Structure 1
Amino acid sequence: MRLRFIKCHGSGNDFPLIDGRALALDEAAWSAVARALADRAGPVGGDGLLVLTAGDARAAFGMRMFNSDGSEAETCLNGLRCVARAGFAALGIDRATVRLKTSYAEVERAAPLAPGVYTVAETAGPASLDAAAWPLHDAPARIVDAAVPPLPSTRRFTAVAMPNPHLVAFVDSVDEAELVAVGSACEAAPAWLPRRANVSFVERRAADALYVRTFERGVGLTDSCGSAMAASTYAAGLTGRIAFDRDVTVYNRGGLVRARATAAGMVTLHGNATWEWEGSAEIDLARASAGALEVERHADDEIAAWAGVVAAID
Structure 2
Amino acid sequence: MQFSFIKCHGSGNDFPLIDARALSLSDAGWAGVARALADRDGPVGGDGLLLLTTGDEDCAFGMRMFNSDGSEAETCLNGLRCTARLGFEVLGLEQATVRLKTSVAQVARDAELAPGVATVRTVVGPNSVAAADVGLRIEAEQVIEAVVPGLPSARAFTAVAMPNPHLVTFVDAVDEEELVSLGSWCEGAPALIPARANVSFVEVRRDADLFVRTFERGVGLTNSCGSAMAASVLAAGLTGRVPFDAQVRVFNKGGLVRGRASADRVVTISGNATFLYDASVQVDVAAGRAEVPVMHARREDEAAAWRAAVAGLASAS
Where on the TM-score scale, by shorter chain, does this alignment land: which range? over 0.9
2:237 aligns with 237
CA distance 1:139–1:218, change in 2 (3 Å): farther
Distance across 2 between alignment mates of 1:46 and 1:163: 22
Instruction: Deviation per CA, 1:60-92: give whole Å up to 9, x if none.
Output: 000000110000000000000000000001101
Aligned partner of 2:208: which letter?
D
Distance across 1 between alignment mates of 2:90 and 2:126: 28
Distance across 1 between alignment mates of 2:169 and 2:208: 17
Say whether 1:189 aligns with 2:176: no
2:103 aligns with 103
Tell which deviates more after alignment, 286-295 or 245-254. Answer: 286-295
Deviation, 1:126, is: 3.5
1:278 aligns with 278
Aligned partner of 2:263: which letter?
A
Say whether 1:299 aligns with 2:299: yes
Say whether 1:17 aligns with 2:17: yes
Aligned partner of 1:234: which letter?
L
Deviation, 1:205, is: 0.3
Deviation, 1:50, is: 0.4
The answer to whether the 8 Å contact 2:2/2:282 transfers is: yes
2:219 aligns with 219
Aligned partner of 2:122: which letter?
E
Aligned partner of 2:100: which letter?
L
Distance across 1 between alignment mates of 2:157 and 2:70: 28
The answer to whether the 8 Å contact 2:134/2:159 transfers is: no
Q: Which runs of 5+ in 1 are unaligned?
A: none
Instruction: Deviation per CA, 1:229-279: give whole Å up to 9, x if none.
Output: 000000000000001101000000000000001111111111000000110
Instruction: Deviation per CA, 1:202-238: give whole Å up to 9, x if none.
Output: 0000233100000000000111101000000000000
Distance across 2 between alignment mates of 1:134 and 1:179: 19
The answer to whether the 8 Å contact 1:36/1:290 transfers is: yes
Instruction: Deviation per CA, 1:10-59: give whole Å up to 9, x if none.
Output: 00000000001111101100100000000000000000000000111111
CA distance 1:158–1:307, change in 2 (3 Å): same
**SS of structure 1 residue aligned to 2:86:** helix
Distance across 2 between alignment mates of 1:92 and 1:115: 22
2:168 aligns with 168
2:143 aligns with 143
Aligned partner of 1:215: which letter?
F
**SS of structure 2 residue aligned to 1:237:** helix
Aligned partner of 1:105: which letter?
A
Say whether 1:4 aligns with 2:4: yes
Deviation, 1:125, is: 2.0
The answer to whether the 8 Å contact 1:139/1:149 transfers is: no
1:202 aligns with 202
The answer to whether the 8 Å contact 2:62/2:98 transfers is: yes
Tell which deviates more after alignment, 69-78 or 186-195. Answer: 186-195
The answer to whether the 8 Å contact 2:134/2:166 transfers is: no
Aligned partner of 1:228: which letter?
A
Q: Which runs of 5+ in 2 are unaligned?
A: none
Deviation, 1:139, is: 5.3
Distance across 1 between alignment mates of 2:245 and 2:126: 14
Normalised to the residue count of structure 2, the TM-score between the two structures is 0.97
Aligned partner of 2:311: which letter?
A
2:180 aligns with 180
**SS of structure 1 residue aligned to 2:205:** strand
Distance across 2 between alignment mates of 1:133 and 1:209: 28
Tell which deviates more after alignment, 5-14 or 185-194. Answer: 185-194
The answer to whether the 8 Å contact 1:81/1:272 transfers is: yes
1:35 aligns with 35
Distance across 1 between alignment mates of 2:140 and 2:211: 27
Normalised to the residue count of structure 1, the TM-score between the two structures is 0.98
Tell me how large the CA RMSD over aligned residues is.
0.9
2:49 aligns with 49
User: In percent, how many aligned pairs have the same letter?
Assistant: 64
